[in-house]
Amino acid sequence: MANTSRSGSTPSPARFGFSDAGRAEEQLRAAGWWSDSGPVAEPVVAALSRAPDPDLALHSLDRLREAVGPAWSELSGLLAEDVGLRGRLFAVLGTSTTFADHLVAHPEDWRRLCSDRFRERTLDGYTSVLLDAVHADRADGAPGTPAGPVATVCGTEAVSALRGAYRGLLLEIAGRDVGRVVEPALPTAAYEQVAAALSDAAVAALRAALAVAVAESGFGEDDPFPRLAVIAMGKCGGCELNYVSDVDVVFVAETEDDLGAATRLASLLMRIAGASFFEIDAALRPEGKAGALVRTLDGHLNYFRRWARTWEFQALLKARPVAGDEDLGARYHAAVQPLVWTAGEREGFVGDVQAMRRRVEDHVPADIAERELKLGRGGLRDVEFAVQLLQMVHGRSDESLRQAPTLEALLALGDGGYVARADAADLVDSYCFLRRLEHRLQLQKLRRTHLFPDFDDAEVLHVVARALGLRSSGRTSAGQALVAEFRRHLNRVRRLHEKLFYRPLLEAVAKVPTEALRLTTRAATERLAALGFLSPEGALRHIQSLTSGMSRRASIQGTLLPMLLDLLATTPDPDGGLLAYRKVSEALAETPWYLRLLRDEGVVAERLALLLGTAKLVPELLVRAPEVLRLLSDTPALAERDQEEAATSLRSAVGRYSDPGRAAAAARSLRRHELLRIACADLLGLMEPTEVFRGLSNIWAAVLESALDVSMRTIAAQHGGPPPARIAVIGMGRLGGGELGYGSDADVLFVCEPTEDADEQLAVRYATAVVEQVRRLLGAPSQDPPLEVDIDLRPEGRQGPLVRTLDSYLTYYDRWGEVWEAQALLRARPVAGDRELGERFRTAIDPVRYPVGGLDEDKVREIRRIKARVDSERLPRGADPATHTKLGRGGLADVEWTLQLLQLRHAHDLPALRTPSTVEGLRVAAEAGLLDEQDAAELTEAWTLAMRVRNAVMLVRGKPDDQLPKKVRELSAVGAALGYPQGVDSGAVVDDYLRVTRHARSVVERVFYEF
């Protein structure tokens, strides 16, 4: 592999990545790896070139060569033959100056990296090495117990021996960790394997320090040996320790009598470990640094039960006994774990954890915040806090989540469906990257650091990147690739942290008592009854159906249902809501995002529970328009969509179909989507009533427009030519006024006009065929609310032709039109078809509906007579006139006829009164002095309330009805749909309706009948 220049000169070490070629050649020659003709040991030099920092690796080898003296020839020979030794030694020396110093001070330790001796040690193996370093006697008991090993070396000699032995163990772990960077054939050491090994080495260090502490303590007959357990916390407790870190511990004594001796032993342990290995941090003990260093088990439990704060239970997630009295440690662990898994019930638990994370983040100095890979935004703490919060909320009922290591807990959350598989995989990937990066930074000088190098420090970035296995490619250097990867992982972690950590579902689930998450059948039935389910046995069957089996779907349902049951219990019909939820879940079982959306977007679950427990129309539409579920998390998309935009979108989508049946199906589908969207926004109180009416009217008009368009095209194609007529659709009644409800028919007139060269009779026949097809397409049976096109308001009623020309309409109204027909035309406006023709129709009928001079007394009496007849004959048998929204006292008809009489009498002289809108007409009438302001307000309130009640009944029952319900549960649901707060007596709905309509009726009697 010798490299030569173009001139054929001697190869330079610079070709192997050494920056100081002269010094490198000198050191390579001294090692026996370079001659005048180039590299002698080419595999060795090539391996050196792959070290993270080739110059550092070679310089450290040169120091090691001098330190080992005559043994260099053995080491040099093995480096040429032993790929494992070569990879591990060069990678460590090319990464860490501290390990180079260690090897110079302990020249024989290079042998630890030889393949014939290299192995993955167990905890017992690490412990034996360290105990041997202080010549501890072999014993059957655990270190720190009366029958345990006791060191025979103490003081500074013990500290020196332990420090050297511990560094040697870290050297082995580092060799396995980074060796593959130099020699890719070596096995990969996964992050979790390295972290577990570092944790085992730390536990072994604690045990060895105990053996020395016992030797120095002088316990004897006059000073009995205390029973002391050492509990690892934090990363050591979670088996995910760094190379350099404080080790968090808690000390537990058996009895009050043991406290004095146990405190002395614990203090000795902390001093010896701090001098030999790492700092011992006991600040996680009760009361922190202000509290006693050692407490009894009862003392710990009393504190946790009475005084502990939320973060202290969070810290206990990773608690595990590691040294000292094993039985005492096991009892401590068994006693505190139940406290951990009920801490999620504490008042404000989720908010406390979230606030703690924000405080940690706020304390990061601004000048290093973007380089802080542990505490900063998107750093390791973001992953750990999110995982721990999810564990403590959901782990109360799911023991599979009770894992101390972050990665194991994260994988369990993904397997259990609490976190999306893709999100869990992304977090695992990013967490491992950040932890490996943290390890590489600490390896450099074996110092505790979590700070990413300065983004402008190309030299350091280059070395760290190579230590992670990144290489230059194309125009991107290894350092630039590292910065890009670092930022990518931070951004991904922060996005997922915010998604999971601030998930509203956590608040809702945390409020469910722990015992409610693990109920027996009988207890579950009792709890369901207590929540307000009238048929708890039936509800339990629904729950069992949703959660049965071992599927991921069942697991997610098991997570959602405790919270959903509590939410449904606050709705008017919990039983109906749960049944609807089951039906929706079964219908959407194969929709991959359905349960994921409910789990990840808590607001969706909350809103869905309210909708399902209130309105039967919602689940009926939802199973055929599930995409609306996505909108529940996006209030603007749900409630603020431009109504004209929605109608235009529908017309555009349907216009792509040439087949009438497919076009009608597309129109129904899009109408269903809009109908459900508006219904959801309405029930959630996110849309004003006038916007609801206008939205429903606009979508009806768009459906008519689409059906008319495809029918005109298909009928014209059957005639073999262009359409012989223009057709306009005139909205009448509430469609004309832009005031439709959910169950309203569309009252329309169809007007046509021959095209330039067409015969009038042919045009009428063509238009009639078109109208018949429109009515047939839209009137076909469907599971959706019906699309009835009502043309009974046409001249001659049901006996008249379906379509007339404009001249024919005008001739009829001029010769035979009656006053009620003029009244019906007050709300006529073009809603679909030929706009120009529709506008000409509207202008042409103005003299009919706005007669010059208003109405004479005979016509006024005729209108009153017709109204009285409607009141007495049209009210359905058995209907209550006090609560019938359409024809009852103070209802829709009363208000509309009152305004229309004013319009017929005064709109000719008051152009502003020429509006098809009831609400707008009442406002103008008040401004013009035709109505008292108070009277207009009472009529407007009654009309709006009657429309809202009518809509609410349709939503609640799933079918149209003009009567206010009498059943308490239905009446409560109507109240909820109207926005009454939870818990209000359903009678208040009736009382309010009667009060408002009574006031309106008194106005009607004064204005309509006594005008």
Average pLDDT, rounded, for the chain: 90
% pLDDT > 70, the chain: 96
Residue 38 confidence (pLDDT): 79
Which residue from 900, 737, 757 is spatially nearest to 827, judged by alpha carbons?
Answer: 737
52/48 Cα distance (integer angstroms): 9
Residue 39 confidence (pLDDT): 83
Residues near 313 by Cβ (< 8 Å), separated by ≥ 6?
A: 304, 339, 340, 343, 346, 392
Enter the pTM of the model: 0.72
- Mean pLDDT of the region 7-14: 68
If pLDDT is split at 50, 70 and 90, which confidence band does 398 have? confident
Pairing outcome for strands 829-833 and 725-731? antiparallel
Residues near 934 by Cβ (< 8 Å), separated by ≥ 6?
A: none
Residue 623 in contact with residue 583, Cβ under 8 Å?
Answer: yes
If pLDDT is split at 50, 70 and 90, which confidence band does 520 have? low
470/455 Cα distance (integer angstroms): 16
Q: pLDDT by residue (tens digit) across 202-252?
A: 999 999 999 999 999 887 656 788 999 999 999 999 999 999 999 999 999
CB neighbour class for 747 (10 Å; exposed up to 12, middle 13-18, buried from 19): buried
- Mean pLDDT of the region 411-432: 90
682/468 Cα distance (integer angstroms): 55
163/786 Cα distance (integer angstroms): 84
> Collapsing DSSP states into helix, strand and coil, what is residue 833?
strand
260/226 Cα distance (integer angstroms): 9
> Collapsing DSSP states into helix, strand and coil, what is residue 653?
helix
Q: Find the radius of gyration of the CA atoms of the chain.
A: 41
Residue 1 confidence (pLDDT): 37
Angle between helices 72-81 and 54-68 (to 10 degrees): 140
- Give the lowest-confidence range in 131-140, 345-354, 985-994: 345-354
Residue 906 in contact with residue 913, Cβ under 8 Å?
Answer: yes
Q: pLDDT by residue (tens digit) across 784-823?
A: 777 788 998 999 888 899 999 999 999 999 999 999 999 9
Residue 918 in contact with residue 739, Cβ under 8 Å?
Answer: yes
Question: Can you give 470-507 as a three-state secondary structure string?
Answer: CCCECCECHHHHHHHHHHHHHHHHHHHHHHHHCCHHHH
Residue 310 in contact with residue 343, Cβ under 8 Å?
Answer: yes
Residue 2 confidence (pLDDT): 40
63/106 Cα distance (integer angstroms): 12
Question: How many C-beta neighbours within 10 Å does residue 717 have?
Answer: 12
CA-CA distances (angstroms) from residue 860 to 486, 544, 575, 870, 912? 82, 66, 52, 15, 22
For the residues of 242-311, what is the DSSP string, one character each?
A: -SS--EEEEEEESSGGGHHHHHHHHHHHHHHHHHHT--EE-TTSTTGGGS-SEEEHHHHHHHHHHT--HH
Question: How many C-beta neighbours within 10 Å does residue 796 have?
Answer: 10
- Give the tokens for residue 840: 């000409």
Q: What is the DSSP letter of 930?
A: S
198, pLDDT greater than 90: yes
Residue 8 confidence (pLDDT): 46
6, pLDDT greater than 60: no
Q: pLDDT by residue (tens digit) across 606-655?
A: 899 999 999 999 999 999 999 999 999 888 888 888 877 877 888 888 88
